[in-house]
Chains A and B, each alone.
Chain A
Amino acid sequence: MVELRPYVALFRGQARSLASYRASFVLELSTNVFATVMDVLTVLVLFRVSRTLGGFTLREALLVVGLSSCAFAAADLAVGNIERIKFYVRTGLLDAVLVRPLGALPQLLLMDLPLRKLSRCAFGTGVLVFAAATAGIDWTPGRVVLVVAAPLAGVVFFSAIFVVSAAVAFWWVETGEIGNAFTYGGRDFTSYPITVYSGWFRRLFAYGMGFAFVSYYPALALLGRADPLGLPVWVGYAAPSVAVVAAAAASVVWRVGIRHYRSTGS
């Protein structure tokens, strides 16, 4: 049985520090939501110019956006701050974390949990609920399970991407923004039906890295549409399982990375 109390203490410390600057927290909470609002607005503006995008109507595309932004916002809230690992490595804080008898990853996450991103998460979920309600979905038990499982799997998937791209810092501290290409880039990729992209770029992001299974295939299954790219219908229902593979891969990369870590010296 893992002792949870130290983690709870870390989380409570974090929450208390926020509570002492209440006005600042409320301000950050309200400005942060605009990050997700902008993403959705961008999609709406694009649909102002054309009636369809990659063969999908606004109603259908909104379901893709909802699945993507709900999952990304929640993963960003829970794990997004791991991208600060470069800073922890450079300042030596990681050494302090490693000597404590607790898991390094949960400590790092709880030490700096960005609760201000709760508002994004709520907005993303709102978009998903609205899209699911208005897209004219023919509800079956399978689809009800899928509409809950798909965003949850998306959270795990994006969290895995965050961890892998942060773990690169163990080998290469000055990774700069490379991680963003796959975390925020992944969010942008999953915000549109993948029929929008083409060629090797689509194959790499959609199937190579698995981003197609976060929002596109679950959305197809929910809408009951056949895949224009030719994959069978059950792929949409099976899509959430990709998250398991991603999580396993992320955990391996993280473990190897932390073993490889040799401090920065004095």
Chain B
Amino acid sequence: MDSVNATGARWVHQNVVVSFRTFTAITGSGFRRYATYRQATLAGAFTNTVFGFLRCYVLLAVADATAQGLAGGYDRAQLATFVWVGQGLLAVVLLWGWTELADRIRTGDVAADLLRPVNPVLSYLATDLGRAGHAVLTRLIPPVVTGLIFFDMYLPQRWVTGPLFVASLVLAVLACFGCRYLVNAAAYWLHDVRGPMIAWTLGSGVLAGLYFPLRFLPDWAAVALWVATPFPSLLQTPLDVVVERDPPATQAGLVALQAVWVVLLLAACGRVQRRAERKLVIQGG
């Protein structure tokens, strides 16, 4: 392998401080880039809010129809918080609609990414963190405020929930980035990623706990999802943390499980990227 290889043997010469500065610079530019999409941000927040009303009413009706007013162990206020924070988190982790890498692979623009002296996975991750930071301010707050105005929402009671939620949120962003990167990277082999993309779009919403809390499922199914798939780590775990569904120890355990998934997913991204670069042929002249 004498060809130009973007990720090969780069780490040896790299200074940690310099690479950290590069990373934060890319993160900052990611934040600024998404800050320019003002209309899209507004439109997205509006749509998430409308769906918040729809989902919230449906889940509250479920709780109302049960004997103790508890649905899957959540009371009415917890369900309201679950839905409205979830509608915001959906945009922060960016569950849907990221095809940038796949598009660049298809058009061949990815060649420019590979020539840069930055690991492509890290550079996309840095941009994504900037985007997520912007989304926390513009996409998480509007639905949560709407929920607070129109519904009786559960507010966290334990002080640990604050730091645990922040940790869980960051891990969810990282895990979701890993999943999206892997789905997009299928384009290195398939060129047309519509198949994997549709599967991801359909599966992620339901399996991450967006349509209904996963505790509505039979216990064995919920546990299997948590342990065997990364999906609950994308939404369900941070939401369970913020509504204090479980005692603190269990919550810490779920966040630790998230961390395990983040390590596995990011390692997989790095591996896939290296394999892809070995075989990549840029199409076109």
Contacts and interface: CB of A to CB of B under 8 A. Distances in A.
Interface of A: 24, 27-28, 31-32, 34-35, 38, 41-42, 45-46, 48-54, 172, 174-178, 180-182, 185, 188-189, 192, 195-198, 201-202
B260 interface: no
Contact of B206 (A41, A180, A195): A41
Nearest to B194: A28
A48 B216 contact: yes
25 contacts: A24-B195, A28-B194, A28-B195, A32-B198, A35-B202, A38-B202, A38-B211, A45-B217, A46-B216, A48-B216, A49-B72, A49-B216, A50-B71, A51-B65, A53-B61, A53-B62, A176-B40, A176-B42, A176-B47, A182-B50, A185-B47, A185-B50, A195-B61, A196-B57, A197-B54
A178 B46 CA distance: 7
A185 B54 contact: yes
Given A31-B199, A38-B202, A188-B51, A196 B61 contact: yes
A177 B139 CA distance: 13
B202 A53 contact: no
Interface string B178-220: 0000000000000010110011001001100001100011100
B195 A50 contact: no
A45 B199 CA distance: 20
B276 to A, nearest CB: 22
B57 A201 contact: yes
A37 to B, nearest CB: 9
B117 interface: no
Main SS at interface, chain A: helix
A192 B206 CA distance: 18
A51 B50 CA distance: 26
B53 interface: yes
Closest 8 CB pairs of A and B: A176-B43, A50-B65, A181-B50, A174-B39, A196-B61, A176-B40, A177-B47, A181-B47
A172 B62 contact: no
A38 B200 CA distance: 13
B257 to A, nearest CB: 23
Interface residues of B, number: 35
A38 B211 CA distance: 9
B263 interface: no
A214 B54 CA distance: 16
A185 B54 CA distance: 8
A178 B43 contact: yes
B157 interface: no
Given A31-B198, A176-B39, A42 B206 contact: yes
A237 B46 CA distance: 34
Nearest to B215: A49
Contact of B202 (A28, A34, A197, A202): A34
Interface in B9-65: 37, 39-40, 42-44, 46-47, 50-51, 53-55, 57-58, 61-63, 65
Contacts of B42: 176
B66 interface: yes
Interface in B211-259: 211-212, 216-218
B167 to A, nearest CB: 29
B58 A196 contact: yes
A81 B40 CA distance: 20
Given A31-B202, A176-B44, A50 B211 contact: no
A197 B52 CA distance: 12
Nearest to A197: B57
A181 B143 CA distance: 14
A46 to B, nearest CB: 5
A27 B57 contact: no
Contacts of A180: 47
Contact of A188 (B39, B54, B62): B54
Nearest to A54: B61
Contacts of B53: 197, 201
Nearest to B195: A27
B195 A31 contact: yes
Nearest to A50: B65
Nearest to A27: B195
Contact of B205 (A31, A38, A178): A38
Contacts of B50: 181-182, 185
Given A35-B202, A38-B211, A178-B46, A192 B58 contact: yes
Contacts of A31: 195, 198-199, 202
A52 B66 CA distance: 8
B71 A49 contact: yes
Nearest to A31: B198
Question: Could you say which of A49, A189, A196 has the most chain B C-beta atoms within 10 Å of its C-beta?
Answer: A49
B274 to A, nearest CB: 28
A25 to B, nearest CB: 11
Contacts of B65: 50-54
B54 A177 contact: no
Question: Could you say which of A45, A175, A185 has the most chain B C-beta atoms within 10 Å of its C-beta?
Answer: A45
Contacts of A174: 37, 39-40, 43
